[in-house]
């Protein structure tokens, strides 16, 4: 995973959990150590990634969403996949699975609000 992918993923997760990051000039971060970016710890700190996991795990869908049943099924799939990653894989794989889940959720949330 490249530094740009880590930064992009951290930004996505941060926005999901309600933080905002200024990343308008991603090239400004090249060569910086991870320690120089303390707000971007989702890819390497279990405490940070678990906050995002709890938020995703506890999502509720309303029955007015266009594909309510499909969303419940897909959400369960992501919860199972991420749970297994937390228990049996490393933080990088967990980070990537949470990013995929949040992208799915953002897409569904945008499609259900015509």
Specify whether the CB–CB gap between 7 and 29 falls below 8 A.
Answer: yes
> What's the pTM?
0.78
Per-residue pLDDT reduced to its tens digit, 102-114 = 999 988 877 765 5
Q: What integer is the mean pLDDT of 3-14?
A: 84
The pLDDT, as a whole number, for residue 113 is 55
Mean pLDDT of 67-89: 89
What is the chain's mean pLDDT, rounded? 79
- Measured in whole angstroms, how far is the alpha carbon of residue 114 from the centre of its chain? 24
**For every residue of 39-52, which 3-state class applies, written as one string?**
CCCCCCCHHHHHHH
CA-based nearest residue to 84, from 98, 73, 71, 70: 98
The ranges assigned to domains in the chain are 3-111
């Amino acid at each position: 995973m490249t530094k740009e992918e880590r930064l992009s993923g951290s930004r996505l997760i941060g926005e999901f959990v309600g933080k905002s990051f200024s990343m308008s000039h991603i090239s400004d971060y090249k060569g910086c150590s991870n320690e120089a970016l303390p707000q971007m710890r989702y890819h390497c700190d279990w405490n940070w990634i678990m906050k995002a996991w709890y938020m995703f795990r506890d999502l509720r869908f309303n029955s007015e969403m266009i594909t309510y049943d499909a969303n419940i099924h897909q959400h369960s799939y992501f919860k199972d996949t991420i749970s297994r990653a937390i228990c049996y894989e490393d933080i990088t794989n967990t980070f990537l699975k949470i990013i995929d889940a949040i992208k799915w959720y953002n897409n569904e949330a945008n499609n259900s609000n015509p």
